[in-house]
Amino acid sequence: MCATRSNAALALLLAATPAAAFDPGDMTAAERAAFGAEVRALLLEEPEIVGRALAPGPSYAEEAARDSAMLDGLAGALYDDPADYTAGAEEGTPLVAFLPAACDTCAETLAQLHAIVEDNGATRLIVKDFPASAQSSPAGAAFLTALLEDMGPKAWTQARQALSELPDPGDRVALRRLAEAMGWPADQLMARMAGGATEAVLERRRGLARELGFDVFPSYVVGGTMIRGDVPPALLARYLP
């Protein structure tokens, strides 16, 4: 489509919105004629635009129902994966965080999530360790997953803080040195990191994120609500009963 017709289409759409500043009545006769010719040419070229404009979009209720059905279908992977870190009320409302293995605010975010769980008293925190992006090394997330399996939640929490302070949390040499400095079984951890079971966990999380449409992290599922992208953790509490 040429740029002129795209601009005409945009103007037409703006004119149809209540808050639009564009008013065809302000045009001169020559401008109205030119505008009409462009719109006519556009509609002849792409008649499906009329159908799209007249077709009602999905209502909020319909979208919410679809989201709810999708979350129900993914409930096992979301809420019951034994490889995930959990805290809080076992039967509480789930707050699932797809949290990067390390980022500038990850340690603070985790502390705030724990505070929400403690203050609410009826929330179950679930953390799925994730690479910061598709381009990031998965080593940090693999390290945390392996550490949680071998050493438990206390060591996992300590590692979460430490990874945020590493220059490169995906550096396997640095991860080994961290394990040695903390007194954790470095050889065992590095072997588990590289093992098929850990990779299977990470792949489950990647697949789950794709199903949910999450491509930036942190992202969250709070109760029955999906929240894509980073938001202040305090706002998440508003979605909890």
Q: Tell me the pLDDT band of 133, cut-offs 50, 70 and 90.
A: low
On the question of pLDDT at 103 being above 80, the answer is: yes
Using alpha carbons only, give the angle 223, 80, 131 rounded to the nearest 5 degrees.
Answer: 85
Q: Which of 59-63, 136-140, 143-147 has the lowest mean pLDDT?
A: 59-63
The angle, 0 to 180 degrees and rounded to 10, between the axes of the packed helices 106-120 and 153-163 is 140
Res 17: pLDDT:
42
pLDDT in tens, 30-53: 777 777 777 777 777 777 776 666
Res 155: pLDDT:
98
Q: Which of 57-66, 181-190, 228-237 has the highest mean pLDDT?
A: 181-190
- Give the total residue count for the chain: 241
Rounded Cα–Cα distance for residues 154 and 151 (Å): 8
Give, in order, the Cα–Cα distances in Å from 46 to each of 1, 43, 50, 218. Answer: 9, 5, 9, 40
Res 154: pLDDT:
97
Amino acid (one-letter) located at 209:
A
Rounded Cα–Cα distance for residues 43 and 80 (Å): 52
With a CB cutoff of 8 Å and minimum separation 6, the contacts of 26 are none
Q: Which of 26-35, 48-57, 195-204 has the lowest mean pLDDT?
A: 48-57
Domains in the chain with CATH codes = 3-54 (no CATH), 67-239 (3.40.30.10)
Res 223: pLDDT:
84
Q: Output the DSSP codes for 142-179.
A: HHHHHHHHHH-HHHHHHHHHHHTTSS-TT-HHHHHHHH
- Give the pairing type, strands 93-100 and 219-222: antiparallel
Which stretches does DSSP call E strand in the chain?
A: 85-88, 93-100, 123-130, 219-222, 225-227
Res 225: pLDDT:
92
On the question of pLDDT at 183 being above 50, the answer is: yes
Q: Tell me the pLDDT band of 3, cut-offs 50, 70 and 90.
A: very low
Residues 69, 74, 75, 79, CA torsion sign: negative
